[in-house]
């Protein structure tokens, strides 16, 4: 299991890099995945959500709907003004 991921914020999203065993198990191979923000109203939020899903899966924390406790990643359609009013 991988216990380290390097996350870099770039102009239009995020790049994650990590090392893992190759299929032969002899040497490590550098892997990378890119999360690119879509040019939409909520592209930045959807991109960050995808990044969080990746991190959760990468570290084996996905869980099952039957687990007593698990991590859930959701987005809400709340306006910043409403959030700041309710969370000073």
Backbone torsion region of residue 42, taken as left when φ is above 0, otherwise alpha when ψ lies between -120 and 50, otherwise beta: alpha
Please name every residue paired with 28 in a beta bridge, in sequence order, or none if there are none: 21
What is the value of pTM for the model shown? 0.77
Enumerate the β-bridge partners of residue 16.
7, 33
N-to-C CA span, the chain: 40
Q: What is the token pair recorded at 30?
A: 């550098």
Q: How far apart are CA 88 and CA 15, in angstroms?
A: 33
- Summarised one tens digit per residue, pLDDT across range 43-61 is 999 999 999 999 999 988 8
Q: Sorting pLDDT into bands at 50, 70 and 90, what band is 74?
A: confident
Tokens of 44: 């930045």
């Amino acid at each position: 299991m991988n216990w380290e991921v390097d996350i870099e914020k770039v102009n239009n999203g995020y790049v994650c890099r990590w090392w893992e065993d190759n299929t032969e198990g002899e040497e490590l191979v550098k892997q990378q995945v890119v999360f690119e923000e879509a040019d939409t109203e909520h592209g930045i939020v959807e991109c960050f959500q995808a990044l969080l899903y990746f991190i959760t899966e990468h570290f084996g924390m996905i869980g099952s709907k039957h687990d007593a406790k698990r991590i859930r990643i959701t987005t809400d359609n709340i306006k910043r003004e409403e959030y700041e009013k309710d969370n000073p």
